[in-house]
């Protein structure tokens, strides 16, 4: 972890005590990035930038004046956040070679705290997808495919064909960020979350994936997908680290008018819940769907039983409009996408085709070459829903349904519930070859079922790794909180994390000489698992 002062200390304390220097830490992570290059987690590795930042950080530590707990800590950033002087592609042909002149607010805030930017991570093109398989730089491989836990289970299974084609997807669309943290190449990473894009890969990669309340963290410099639902997300190896990063990122930004004025205490330190007897946990009955894997269903029940056995009140709640949420999301998401993607016209930045017959021809060819089928499909749907004759029947109606979905959550919380406990995904990570049998739209509609209503309601939610499946793969459960009760939500998640004791991924074969530093549990996160 990155923080606390307990018996053992995280890497933040190791830096403060001089047991390791920022440059050594940076070089260890860079060498792991090279070793795990085949995972395809990074699109750009900013080696020179990171080493220069480490050098600056080192001077501060020598003078005994580090900027904070993140000073000298390696981080990674999803490649749809603008980074000044570093290519930002959205994994698309449209933005290949685009170098922004400014940093996204969240990136700037991390750099201002002395964090080391290791690189930009892979994603589905323009963050549209739930597998991290559809970007122009190819799919991301899940580090758990190479873990001792999964490999040993594969050996026991007589039907498993071993070979290079059996690797698993990371989930998406922030799969590169999830793989980067999971493979120890950094301590925290930024993702974005519009319908589950941070929580879904977190669940598949055994990480904490946090989606803050809408308006708590600035979107300035995050290349927009759906302005009314996008939020920057945080991926870490433990809850305390996520809280630490949130403390740095949260707050009003004059460049993003949707951010609220400081309702959060900084720095954000989570107290340890002595007991959960005053808590009321809600279990939404509509989330028990036939497609949910029986293993996840039983872990979900066991988690509810755990809260109950520790004295919490666990009640079933109803979110009656859940079944409409995917359709509603499809209309709103594609409409906003169509509007947002209009900026990529080949005139100002990004790709421009060679056709110069007319402006219209240039626009059309540029967009044909710059966008993949998934993106073009969403633009077409969205423009259809926004046509004058369809506007009332689709877009306006979907906005009304969205309000009903948000109200469902409000009603649940008003009935005395503190947090909701749900699955994050329908199943564990699946092999790539199985995943691509269905198209992106079908997949996204299935995979977003538990995560996406939260984005429509603007609530905070976090996926917490709970246990390994029979296959030896991570399974996550999701906690959902009231709007702007992010700290309370993370406090409950931290208590739960401590109870379940999720195992550390074992990547010895991948790491060989680097593994010594990582097996030193103390340095596996920024703060400290207590």
User: pLDDT by residue (tens digit) across 376-390?
Assistant: 999 999 999 999 999
| pLDDT above 60 (res 62) | yes
Name the residue among 307, 300, 302, 243 with its Cα closest to residue 278. Answer: 307
| pLDDT above 70 (res 212) | yes
pLDDT digits (tens, 9 = 90+) for 128-148: 999 999 999 999 999 999 999
Extract the tokens encoding 151: 């490999």
Please give the pLDDT value at position 127. Answer: 94
CA distance 530 to 528: 6
pLDDT digits (tens, 9 = 90+) for 162-179: 566 789 999 989 999 999
CA distance 351 to 307: 53
CA 248 to chain centre: 17
First to last CA, the chain: 10
CA distance 412 to 404: 12
Please give the pLDDT value at position 226. Answer: 95
CA distance 430 to 150: 12
Mean pLDDT of 480-503: 96
Contacts of 200 (CB under 8 A, 6+ apart): 130, 171, 172, 209, 424, 425, 447, 448, 451, 463
- Is residue 123 within 8 A of residue 80, CB to CB? The reply is yes
Q: What does the chain come to in residues?
A: 530
Extract the tokens encoding 523: 């340095």
Please give the pLDDT value at position 346. Answer: 87
**Please, what are the domains in the chain?**
26-325+398-528 (3.90.1300.10)
Angle at 209 between CA 173 and CA 194, to 5 degrees: 45
pLDDT digits (tens, 9 = 90+) for 238-290: 999 999 999 999 999 999 999 998 766 666 788 888 889 999 999 999 999 99
How do beta strands 231-236 and 188-193 pair? antiparallel
| pLDDT above 50 (res 7) | no
| pLDDT above 80 (res 445) | no
Confidence grade of residue 349 (pLDDT, cut at 50, 70, 90): confident
pLDDT digits (tens, 9 = 90+) for 8-56: 358 998 999 999 999 999 999 999 999 999 999 999 999 999 999 999 9
User: How far are the Cα atoms of 378, 494, 528 from residue 239, in angstroms, in the given order?
Assistant: 34, 6, 10
Extract the tokens encoding 283: 């279990």
Mean pLDDT of 219-225: 96
Please give the pLDDT value at position 269. Answer: 82
Mean pLDDT of 67-87: 97
Q: Name the residues annotated as catalytic.
A: 78, 173, 197
């Amino acid at each position: 972890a990155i923080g606390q002062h307990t018996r053992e200390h995280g890497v933040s304390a190791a830096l403060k005590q001089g047991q390791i220097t920022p440059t050594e830490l940076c070089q260890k992570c860079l060498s792991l990035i090279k070793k795990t290059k085949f995972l395809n987690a990074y699109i750009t590795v900013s080696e020179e930038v990171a080493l220069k930042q480490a050098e600056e950080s080192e001077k501060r530590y020598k003078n005994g004046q580090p900027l904070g707990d993140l000073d000298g800590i390696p981080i990674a950033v999803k490649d749809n956040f603008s980074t000044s002087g570093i290519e930002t592609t959205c994994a698309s042909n449209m933005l290949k070679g685009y170098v922004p002149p400014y940093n996204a607010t969240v990136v700037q805030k991390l750099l201002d705290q002395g964090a080391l930017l290791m690189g930009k991570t892979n994603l589905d093109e323009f963050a549209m997808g739930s597998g991290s398989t559809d970007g122009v730089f190819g799919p991301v491989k899940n580090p758990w495919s190479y873990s001792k836990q999964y490999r040993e289970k594969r050996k026991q299974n007589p039907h498993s064909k071993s070979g290079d084609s059996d690797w698993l997807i990371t989930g998406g669309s922030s799969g590169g960020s999830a793989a980067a943290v999971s493979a120890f190449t950094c301590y925290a990473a930024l993702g974005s979350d519009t319908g589950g894009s941070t929580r879904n890969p977190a669940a598949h990669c055994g990480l904490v994936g946090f989606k803050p309340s809408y308006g708590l963290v600035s979107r300035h410099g995050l290349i927009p997908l759906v302005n009314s639902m996008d939020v920057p997300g945080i991926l870490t190896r433990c809850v305390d680290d996520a809280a630490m990063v949130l403390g740095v990122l949260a707050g009003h930004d004059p460049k993003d008018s949707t951010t609220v004025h400081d309702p959060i205490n900084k720095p954000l330190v989570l107290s340890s819940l002595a007991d959960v007897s005053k808590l009321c946990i809600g279990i939404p009955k509509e989330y028990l769907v036939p497609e949910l894997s029986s293993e996840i269903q039983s872990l979900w029940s066991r988690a509810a039983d755990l809260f109950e056995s520790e004295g919490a009140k666990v009640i079933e709640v109803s979110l009656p409009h859940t079944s409409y949420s995917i359709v509603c999301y499809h209309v709103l998401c594609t409409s906003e996408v169509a509007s947002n993607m209009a900026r990529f016209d080949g005139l100002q930045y990004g790709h421009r085709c060679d056709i110069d017959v007319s402006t219209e021809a240039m626009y059309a060819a540029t967009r044909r070459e710059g966008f993949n089928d998934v993106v073009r499909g969403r633009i077409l749907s969205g423009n259809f829903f926004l046509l004058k004759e369809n506007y009332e029947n689709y877009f306006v109606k979907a906005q009304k349904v969205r309000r009903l979905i948000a109200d469902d959550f409000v009603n649940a919380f008003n009935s005395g519930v503190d947090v909701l406990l749900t699955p994050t995904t329908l199943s564990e990570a699946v092999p790539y070859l199985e995943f691509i049998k269905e198209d992106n739209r079908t997949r996204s509609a299935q995979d977003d079922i538990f995560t996406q209503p939260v984005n429509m309601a603007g609530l905070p939610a976090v996926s917490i790794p709970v246990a390994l499946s029979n296959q030896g793969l991570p399974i996550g459960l999701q906690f959902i909180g009231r709007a702007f009760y992010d700290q309370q939500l993370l406090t409950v998640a931290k208590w739960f994390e401590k109870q379940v004791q999720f195992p550390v991924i074992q990547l010895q074969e991948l790491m060989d000489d680097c593994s010594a530093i990582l097996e030193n549990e103390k340095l596996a996160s920024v703060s400290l698992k207590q």
